[in-house]
Amino acid sequence: MAKWYKPPVLRIGPHKARLPIVQGGMAVGISLSGLASAVANAGGIGVIAAPGVGLFEPDFHKNFFEANIRGLRKEIRRARSLTKGVLGVNIMVALTDFATLVKTAIEEKIDIIFAGAGLPLRLPELLDGNQHTKLVPIVSSARAARILCKKWQDDFNYTPDGFVVEGPKAGGHLGFKAEELDAAENQLERLVPEVIEAVKPFAAKAGKPIPVIAAGGVYSGEDIFKFLRLGAAGVQMATRFVATDECDASPAFKQAYVESEAGDAVIIKSPVGMPGRALGNEYLANVAAGKKQPFKCPQHCVKTCDYQTSPYCIFVALLNAQRGRLSGGFAFCGSNVHRITEIVPVKKLVDSLVKEYKSAAVQELLEQLTRYMNNMMRSPSLDRGAL
C-alpha cells in the first residue's frame, strides 16, 4: 500500500505517471527529447515542444514546415528510445502548421497532446479513430473549459482527457491581458477549483474523470502539495526544468536563469498578439525603446503574428536564445525564475520536489493533530480525570 504522504500517481486515460508532475513544453528547442525523456524516466510526464521543432534539420530555413514534421518525428522517436515513461507533445493552436503537427504526433503514437495558445475546438476530429493518444487542452478559465467540453461532446462525442489550467505567473505567452495578470480572480489558487467544478458535469456525463492540472508559478514540492489539496490531479512545471543538465537549451540560456534576480522577469508585448513573461535584457530594452530588429518572415509560423508591423521576429529571437545568442533574443521564464540558484540533474530536482512534498504532507498532519488536541482540551464535555 502506498504511503499516505507520498505524491499520488497521475492518470490521463490509460497513461499513468508515477508522480503528478507534467514538464511544461518550452519552445523553441528548450524542451525536446533530452529533457522530456529525463523527466519521464524520473516519474513525471515529459513533454516535447512542437513550435520550431525542426531547428536542427539542415533545410530548416528553406523548408520550415517540412523540417518541423521531420524534426517532430525524430524527437518523439529519440525520446521513446530513451524512456518507457509517459511522453507528451505541446502544440500551440495558433501555429500555422498546428493540424499537420498534431497528425504527425498521432502517427508517432505520442501518449498525450497538450494544446494551448488558442482553443482547439476541432482537435478530436484529427484523431481519426486513434485510441492511444489523449487530448489535454490548456486553458486559463473555467469558461474556456466549459466551452471545450460542450463543443467536443456535442460535435465529436469526445470528452477532454484532462485540462491544464495555466495562471498568470507562468512563463512564455500568457492567456490574459497584461492588465489582468494581478487580478485576484485570475490567480491560480482560484482558477483551479473553478475549472474542477466546471468540468464535473461533463465528466459525469462521459462516465470518466477529467483530471485538472495546475500550472503557472508552481515552484516547490510545497506548491505541488497545495494545489493537490485544492483538488488538482497534478501540476505542470516548466521554469524549474530549464536549469537542469538534460534541458535542451544552451548553457548560456540556463545560466541566465541561475544569474537572474528578483525583478528581472518582465512582461512583454509579443508579436503573436499575447503578453508574455521573459527575462529582461538589452534586446528587449531596445525593442521597448522603439528600435526595430530587421528580419524576414518566409513562413508566417504563427497565424496571429502581425509580422508586417512587428518590431522583431519572435521565432528568430527565441531561436537565438536557445542557441545561446542572447544578444539577439531573449529567454521566456516564469515568475519564480529568480529563485533558481543552480543547474542540477533532472532526477535530483525531482527527488527534491518529492522530499518537499512529503515534508508539507507531514506538516499538514501535525497541524491537524494539534488543532484536534486543542479542540479536545477546550471541550467542556471532556472528562479530564480520564486523562
Give the SS3 label for residue 282. helix
Return the H-helix or E-strand segment holding 222.
helix 221-229
> Quick one: cell of 208?
470518466
Alpha-carbon span 119 to 124, nearest angstrom: 12
Q: Say what the pLDDT of residue 312 is.
A: 73
Q: Is 23 exposed, middle or buried (0-12, 13-18, 19+ CB in 10 A)?
A: buried
- What's at 79, amino acid-wise? A
Q: What is the mean pLDDT of the chain?
A: 90
Residue 1 pLDDT grade (very low, low, confident, very high; cuts 50, 70, 90): very low
Question: 9-13, 172-176, 249-253: which has the minimum mean pLDDT?
Answer: 172-176
Q: Say what the pLDDT of residue 288 is.
A: 84
What's phi and psi for 56, nearest 5 deg? -95, 0
Alpha-carbon span 338 to 304, nearest angstrom: 31
Alpha-carbon span 253 to 260, nearest angstrom: 11
What's phi and psi for 91, nearest 5 deg? -125, 120
Domains of the chain: 16-248 (3.20.20.70), 255-328 (no CATH)
Q: Say what the pLDDT of residue 383 is.
A: 55
Give the SS3 label for residue 138. strand
pLDDT of 322 higher than 70:
yes
CB 271 within 8 A of CB 293: no
311 DSSP 8-state letter: S
Instruction: Write the pLDDT tens digit of every residue in 127-165.
Output: 988 889 999 999 999 999 999 999 999 999 999 999 999
Instruction: Write the pLDDT tens digit of every residue in 156-166.
Output: 999 999 999 99
Q: Find the length of the chain.
A: 387
Q: Say what the pLDDT of residue 387 is.
A: 44
What's phi and psi for 348, nearest 5 deg? -65, -40
pLDDT of 298 higher than 60:
no
Q: Which residue has the cell 473549459?
A: 145
% of the chain surpassing 90 pLDDT: 66
Q: How far is CA 112 from CA 91, 236, 282, in A?
A: 11, 14, 37
Q: How far is CA 187 from CA 42, 166, 217, 283, 335, in A?
A: 29, 9, 10, 30, 13
Dihedral sign for Cα 178, 184, 185, 188, please.
Answer: positive
What number of CA atoms fall less than 13 Å from residue 295's CA on the CB side?
A: 23
Q: Say what the pLDDT of residue 287 is.
A: 85
pTM to 2 decimal places: 0.90
